[in-house]
Amino acid sequence: MAITTTTHAHPLNHPLHARAEGSCSTTHLPTESTYLSTIPLFCRHFSPPAKISTSSPVTLTYTLPSYSSPDVNWVYKISIPRKGDNEASTEVNEGDCVARMGEVLTEGKLGGAYCVVDGTEDVLFKGGSADVAWGGLVNGGVVRFESYRRKGDL
């Protein structure tokens, strides 16, 4: 069962160092600080730890301010990708959620997960995912942490 909600977040200051390359092709994206400051809101759903399964990811959508207007609907999702016909499940806690969702940006590549607005040092988050090997999942099972602009939004 997927859970969906919408809320507004306000940016905090958690800067990732901007780089001279990786120019943004659009500015209708959240800043790095907006993305990072919304992670604790999403991860509160994992306190106490919450069960996810192959057929029941946790997906929440937040309305975030974008670098340019209008606001952008941004998806935060944790899932277990299906391997064959096997159903898998595990628990995710708030601390793991915060750490791994942060890594989607901080471990991402310039031009891939994030970009820099031309003529500035402003870093925008484009979206991305991280597959994390997870204890208790068989056959190399992973938990996927991902975040992206809601499909269909400009």
Higher pLDDT: 101 or 7? It is 101
Residue 11 lies in a domain: no
* Average of per-residue pLDDT across 3-26: 53
* Amino acid residing at 92: V
The span from the CA of 5 to the CA of 61, in Å, is 6
Residue 122 lies in a domain: yes
Residue 128 lies in a domain: yes
pLDDT (tens digit, 9 = 90+) per residue, 56-75? 999 999 999 999 978 999 99
Answer whether residue 24 shows pLDDT above 80: yes
pTM over 0.85? The answer is no
pLDDT (tens digit, 9 = 90+) per residue, 94-127? 999 999 999 999 888 888 899 999 888 999 999 9
pLDDT of residue 18: 45
Total domain count, the chain: 1
Residue 81 lies in a domain: yes
Q: Which structural domain range is residue 45 located in?
A: 32-149
Residue 18 lies in a domain: no
Return the CA Rg of the chain: 16
pLDDT of residue 110: 84
Residue 116 lies in a domain: yes
Residue 25 lies in a domain: no
Q: What share of the chain is helix, strand, coil (3-state, %, to 5)?
A: 20, 30, 50
Across the chain, mean pLDDT equals: 84
Q: How many helices (H) and strands (E) does the chain have?
A: 2, 8
Answer whether residue 19 shows pLDDT above 60: no
Answer whether residue 2 shows pLDDT above 50: no
Residue 118 lies in a domain: yes
